[in-house]
């Protein structure tokens, strides 16, 4: 069986500056991977490259999603193929209602999966049920996408989209940053409710705290654009205690 | 400081005996003085500050003449502009003259009169002697004097005290597309104390002839009167449209303007509001959507003369191809106008690297206890928003259209008149060809 995601020697530049310097990573269905790293290590660049951000230039290496060459697909095709990125900073879009975006996204993806599109009533029932799960004020559904939402509301809105779209591969870019503990639990419950053998998760995070609520199978440490160490959940605890300094020094020593 | 226009003298001498109001000495005098002032001024050139970004030299190369008779037009031809037959009090002007047979007979409420200005000038000109031209500013460079000299017709709407018009008044101006035709229109709206009405001006053209429209709408609102004014400019891409809307507001009156420009090669909209009474309010909204080589210049001036008045401007532009827009927003707060609130926003979205938007906010504040704010942006579509939508499975074309539509939508949302709002939503979606989904009540309203 092919892995769900296979990344080989991935190098990425942003505005001519090398940000990712050779990443190898394999993710199988059913697995939860966490990528941890200090600020500026390339975590967000990595997340956005997977989702298809065109401003980020892949200068070397490959990404395969099942047996598809992901780098040839525009962002919308990746979304339709079941890849979802929860943004670190969800974008405000004045004038476009949240519920319109949710319904358009869901129906586009359902069509792609060969399912029937949901009519307005069925969709409304579904979205209200999922919004309740996220303890989201229904009013937010009818407002402009993320516009004037608090930081916590934006993050819940991202996870609401995750729950509706039910992707095969979910990338969560610092979804836990800026959340208080109650909101973190709600968000974690939402994510956990989707965990099963057919799906994979990539949690990109700065804090070990999230991993108390979502137990990863693998933890990887990203510094200076490389995965310098991989391990099980215990690695996250070690990072919590020792910080990233020891890994950065070790890497700096090892690199010619 | 001008582009001389000697040819119009001869046109005037040939025609003035047939212009409406020729029997009234005051009117003839007003026209004659306006013509000599116009002969001295000519068209303003770009050294005139208020016309800095709008070059009229191409206009000077044509000899525009008024229609001696109006082109023929059938009732069926009006169909696209009737707002789905929503009931309205409608006057239809063809090539600048009232076309009686296209105006259904309607009864207004008592306390209101709606008629052709030419008819009033012929039958009872003295009624207009203290109205016509009274909102004009003699120091304004431009086309006012030319308008006064050549004015043919227009609408005269008079609301008595406390009259409330339930249905909107629709003034439909159609040009039949005869080449080098000059259409000169003057509308006069006078609203008595406590009265209220909605007036829509539609400017449309058949064919694509080079033409000049020169129109002025004078609006006088007595205390506590309320007027919603819509101006939809949709003439053809070779038309020049020079329009002035001059408003004088007394105490506690409310004026809302929606100025929408979709058509015209060269369009200048002057909008002057004089808040001459305490607590008067005005809201000026504008949306300009340009393509090709269109040039649209919105020039607004608000004078706060008295305390507790407020003004709120919200202008947006969407520019494609090599089109160009200018927004000048001058707000003067006079020494007596304490507690003034004035807000001005002007945002332009550039869809092409060759488009150009110029913005000139100008505040002159002579009172010390006021709140004045302004914001101005010019930019391309937000790349982060585009990426976000695409990661939610929307293809790039749909995402782009959605963002353009959303940019314009908040101007349309400010319109109370649903038939007009729906009509403009369709026009906008048409411009963003193929965006059917956008029409299905998908956005915010």
Q: In B, which residues are within 8 Å of A144 by CB distance?
A: 406, 444
B404 to chain A: nearest residue by CA? Answer: A95
Residue of A52, A78, A94 to mutate, interface with B, max B Cβ within 10 Å: A94
Whether A104 and chain B come into contact, CB under 8 Å, resolves to yes
Cβ separation B390–A55 shorter than 8 A:
no
A chain contacts of residue B394, beta-carbon cutoff 8 Å: 76, 101, 104-105, 108
Q: A101, B393: Cβ pair inside 8 Å?
A: no
pLDDT above 80 for B47: yes
Instruction: Report how many Cβ contacts below 8 Å link chain A to chain B.
Output: 85
Query: A102-116, A204-218, A240-254, B223-237: which has the minimum mean pLDDT?
Result: A240-254
Summarised one tens digit per residue, pLDDT across range B14-38 is 998 999 999 999 999 999 999 999 9
Tens-digit pLDDT profile for residues B99-127: 988 987 767 778 999 999 999 999 999 99
Assess contact for A26 and A6: CB atoms under 8 A: yes
pLDDT digit string (tens) for B297-335?
999 999 999 999 999 999 999 999 999 999 999 999 999
Give the integer Cα–Cα distance in Å for B382 and B139.
42
B391 chain-A contacts, CB cut-off 8 A: 51-52, 75-76, 78-79, 84-85, 87
Among candidate residues B392, B403, B416, B113, the one with its CA nearest the CA of residue B256: B416
Of the residues B377, B380, B388, B411, the best mutation for testing chain A's interface (the one with the most A CB atoms within 10 Å of its CB) is B388
Q: How far is Cα A144 from Cα A110, in angstroms, rounded to an integer?
A: 23
Annotate B328-371 with DSSP letters as a single string. Answer: EEEEEE-TT-TT-EEEEEEEEEESSTT-EEEEEEEEEE--SS-E
Label residues B339-367 b or e (16+ Cβ within 10 Å = b).
bbebbbbbbbbbbeeebbbebbbeeebeb
In this complex, do B391 and A101 lie within 8 Å of one another by their Cβ atoms?
A: no
- A110 reaches B (C-beta below 8 A): no
Q: Please provide residue B118's backbone torsions phi and psi, each rounded to the nearest 5 degrees.
A: -60, -40
Residues forming a β-bridge with B245: B217, B271
Closest approach of chain A CAs to the CA of B426, in angstroms? 16
Task: Judge: A91–B384 Cβ closer than 8 Å, yes or no.
Answer: yes
Q: Does A112 touch chain B (CB under 8 A)?
A: yes
Chain A residues within an 8 Å CB radius of B440:
none
pTM of the model: 0.88
> Quick one: closest CA in A to B384, which residue?
A91
Asked if residues B151 and B187 have their Cβ atoms less than 8 Å apart, the reply is no
Residue B433 has pLDDT above 80, yes or no: no
Which residues of chain A lie closer than 8 angstroms to B443, CB-CB? 95-97, 100
What structural domains and CATH numbers belong to chain A?
5-254 (3.40.50.300)
Query: Is pLDDT of A148 > 60?
Result: yes
Disruptive mutation site among A80, A95, A97, A105 for chain B (greatest number of B CBs within 10 Å)? A95
pLDDT digits (tens, 9 = 90+) for A180-199: 898 899 989 989 999 999 99
Q: What average pLDDT does the segment A92-120 reach?
A: 94
Q: Closest residue of A to B388, CA-based?
A: A91
Q: How many CA atoms, within 13 angstroms, populate the side-chain half-sphere of residue A36?
A: 30
Question: Which of the two residues, B215 and B1, has the higher pLDDT score?
Answer: B215
Q: What is the per-residue pLDDT for A242?
A: 87
* Min Cα separation A77/chain B (Å): 7
Per-residue pLDDT, averaged over B67-79, amounts to 84
A124 touches chain B (CB under 8 A): no
Please tell me which of the candidates A74, A84, A92 has its beta carbon nearest to residue B390.
A74
Indicate the pLDDT class of residue A250, thresholds 50, 70 and 90. low
**pLDDT score recorded for residue A107:** 96
Assess contact for A64 and A237: CB atoms under 8 A. no
B392·A104 Cβ contact <8 A: yes
Which pLDDT tens digit goes with each residue over B149-164? Answer: 999 999 999 999 999 9
Neighbours of B283 (CB within 10 A): 18
């Amino acid at each position: 069986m092919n892995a769900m995601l296979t990344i080989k020697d991935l190098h990425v530049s942003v505005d001519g500056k090398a940000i990712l310097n050779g990443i190898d990573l394999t993710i199988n269905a059913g697995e939860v991977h966490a990528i941890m790293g200090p600020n500026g290590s390339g975590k967000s660049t990595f997340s956005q490259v997977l989702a298809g951000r065109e401003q980020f230039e892949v200068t070397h290496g490959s990404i395969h999603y099942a047996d598809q060459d992901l780098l040839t697909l525009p962002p919308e095709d990746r979304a339709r193929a079941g890849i979802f990125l929860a943004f670190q900073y969800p974008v405000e879009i004045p004038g476009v209602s949240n519920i319109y975006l949710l319904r358009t996204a869901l129906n586009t993806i359902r069509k792609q999966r060969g399912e029937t599109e949901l009519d307005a009533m069925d969709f409304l029932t579904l979205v209200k049920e999922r919004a309740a799960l996220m303890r989201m004020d229904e009013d937010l559904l009818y407002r402009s996408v993320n516009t004037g939402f608090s930081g916590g509301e934006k993050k819940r809105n991202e996870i609401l989209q995750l729950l509706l779209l039910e992707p095969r591969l979910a990338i969560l870019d610092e979804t836990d940053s800026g959340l208080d503990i109650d909101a973190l639990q709600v968000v974690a419950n939402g994510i956990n409710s989707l965990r099963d053998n057919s799906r994979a998760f990539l949690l990109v995070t700065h804090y070990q705290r999230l991993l108390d609520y979502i137990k990863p199978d693998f933890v990887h440490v990203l510094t200076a654009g490389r995965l310098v160490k991989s391990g099980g959940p215990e690695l996250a605890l070690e990072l919590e205690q020792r910080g990233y300094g020891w890994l950065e020094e070790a890497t700096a020593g090892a690199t010619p | 400081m001008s582009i001389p226009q000697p040819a119009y003298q001869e046109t005037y001498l040939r025609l003035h005996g047939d212009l409406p109001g020729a029997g009234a000495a005051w009117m003839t005098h007003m026209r004659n003085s306006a013509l000599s002032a116009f002969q001295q001024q000519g068209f303003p050139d770009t050294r005139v500050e208020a016309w800095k970004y709008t070059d009229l030299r191409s206009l000077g190369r044509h000899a525009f003449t008024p229609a001696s008779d109006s082109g023929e037009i059938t009732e069926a031809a009006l169909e696209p502009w009737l707002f789905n037959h929503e009931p309205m009090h409608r006057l239809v002007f063809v090539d600048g003259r009232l076309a009686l047979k296209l105006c259904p007979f309607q009864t207004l409420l008592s306390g209101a009169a709606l008629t052709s200005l030419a008819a009033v000038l012929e039958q009872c000109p003295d009624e207009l002697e203290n109205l016509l031209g009274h909102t004009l500013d003699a120091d304004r460079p431009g086309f006012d004097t030319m308008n006064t000299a050549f004015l043919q017709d227009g609408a005269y709407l008079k609301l008595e005290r406390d009259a409330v018009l339930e249905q909107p008044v629709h003034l439909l101006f159609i040009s039949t597309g005869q080449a080098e035709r000059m259409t000169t229109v003057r509308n006069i709206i006078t609203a008595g104390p406590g009265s209220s009405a909605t007036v829509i001006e539609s400017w449309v053209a058949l064919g694509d002839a080079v033409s000049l429209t020169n129109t002025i709408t004078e609006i006088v609102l007595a205390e506590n009167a309320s007027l919603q004014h819509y101006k939809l400019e949709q003439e053809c891409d070779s038309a020049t449209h020079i329009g002035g809307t001059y408003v004088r507001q007394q105490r506690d009156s409310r004026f809302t303007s929606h100025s929408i420009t979709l058509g015209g090669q060269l369009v200048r909209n002057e909008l002057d509001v004089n808040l001459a009474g305490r607590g008067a309010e005005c809201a000026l909204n504008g949306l300009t959507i340009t393509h090709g080589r269109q040039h649209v210049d919105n020039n607004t001036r608000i004078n706060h003369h008295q305390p507790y008045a407020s003004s709120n401007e919200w202008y947006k532009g969407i520019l494609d191809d090599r089109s160009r827009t200018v927004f000048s927003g001058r707000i003067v707060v006079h020494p007596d106008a304490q507690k003034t609130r004035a807000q001005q926003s002007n945002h332009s979205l550039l869809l092409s690297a060759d488009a150009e938007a110029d913005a000139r906010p100008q505040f002159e504040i002579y009172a010390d206890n006021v709140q004045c704010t302004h914001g101005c942006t010019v930019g391309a579509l937000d790349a982060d928003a585009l990426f976000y939508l695409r990661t939610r499975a929307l293809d790039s074309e749909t995402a782009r259209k959605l963002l353009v539509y959303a940019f314009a939508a908040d101007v349309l949302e400010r319109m109370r008149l649903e038939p007009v709002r729906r009509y403009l939503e369709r026009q906008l979606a048409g411009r963003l060809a193929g965006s059917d989904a956008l029409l299905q009540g998908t956005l915010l309203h």
